[in-house]
């Protein structure tokens, strides 16, 4: 039976980067076992967590994701022996960098979900979705997409030495 559908004010977009051998199979298991989990998640399949470049995560945020999940095989279970070990270090560093730059790490979740853990997949996805829903839309990266170089100059209109004449502003607004 389907649970009763709830209406929410905000449906977050969650992008999940998963490895094909464990988490994708785990998510598949959740599906074939008819477990319910939020439809907010868009799953992208990769050969291995080691193939998931941090730039993919940036791009997901830029293109409108409110939360990102990266998930793969448990340590020791990697199909390619060590891909997830390398990914673990890379993402530890990447998290520190994002934090330093001022990104809220609550929007970025890492997890190990094996092919047998359909239940854990549901749990991880539900938890992330609800957390991001409570946080509201991720605006930082998205708003950058609509900004131009000159918007920074406009904000500095009163700073001495910054050329910001009405003519320039008019020309800018016409672009």
Partner 1 sequence: MNAKANKNQSSCIEPSYYQAVTQAIRTQAVQVLKDGTVAGVVGYLPGRRKGTARPALITTPEEAEKLIFSPACVNNLSVYLTKSKKGVLKQGRIGIVAKGCDMRALAGLMGESQIKREDLFIIAVDCAGVYGSRAERSESVTEANIARKCHECTVHHPEGADFVAGAATELSGLTPLEAEEMARIEALPQAERWAFWKEHFSRCIRCMACRQVCPFCYCEQCLCDKNRPQAVENSPRPAGNTAWHIVRAMHLAGRCGGCAECERVCPMDIPLNLLNRRMAKELKELYDYEAGLAPAEKGPLNQYKEDDDQSFIK
Residues that bind partner 1 (CB under 8 A): 53-55, 58-59, 62, 75-76, 82, 85-86, 88-104, 109-112, 124, 140-141, 144-145, 147-149, 151-152
Q: Which residue's CB is nearer to partner 1, number 28 or number 123?
A: 123
Q: Which residue's CB is nearer to partner 1, number 7 or number 149?
A: 149
Q: Which residue's CB is nearer to partner 1, number 35 or number 135?
A: 135
Q: Which residue's CB is nearer to partner 1, number 111 or number 129?
A: 111
Is residue 10 within 8 A of residue 137, CB to CB? The reply is: yes
3-state secondary structure 73-106: CCCCCCCCCCHHHHHHHHHHHHHHHHHHHCCCHH
Question: What backbone phi and psi angles, to 5 degrees, belong to 116?
Answer: -95, -5
Give the nearest distance from C-beta 140 to partner 1 in angstroms. 6
Nearest Cα residue to 68 out of 86, 84, 52:
52
Give the nearest distance from C-beta 96 to partner 1 in angstroms. 4
Give the nearest distance from C-beta 7 to partner 1 in angstroms. 28
Give the nearest distance from C-beta 32 to partner 1 in angstroms. 23
């Amino acid at each position: 039976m389907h649970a009763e559908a709830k209406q929410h004010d905000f449906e977050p977009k969650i992008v999940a980067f998963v490895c094909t051998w464990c988490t994708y199979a785990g998510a598949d298991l959740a599906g074939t076992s008819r477990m319910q989990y939020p439809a907010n998640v868009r799953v992208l399949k990769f050969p291995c967590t080691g193939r998931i470049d941090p730039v993919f995560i940036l791009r997901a945020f830029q293109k409108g994701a409110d939360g990102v999940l990266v998930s793969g095989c448990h340590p020791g279970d990697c199909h390619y022996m060590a891909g997830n070990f390398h990914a673990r270090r890379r993402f530890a560093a990447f998290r520190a960098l994002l934090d330093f730059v001022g990104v809220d790490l609550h929007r970025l979740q890492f997890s190990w979900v094996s092919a047998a853990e359909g239940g854990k997949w549901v749990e991880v996805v539900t938890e992330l979705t609800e957390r991001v829903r409570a946080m509201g839309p991720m605006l930082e990266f998205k708003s950058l997409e609509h900004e131009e170089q000159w918007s920074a100059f406009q904000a500095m209109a009163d700073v001495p030495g910054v050329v910001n004449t009405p003519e320039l502003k008019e020309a800018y607004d016409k672009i």
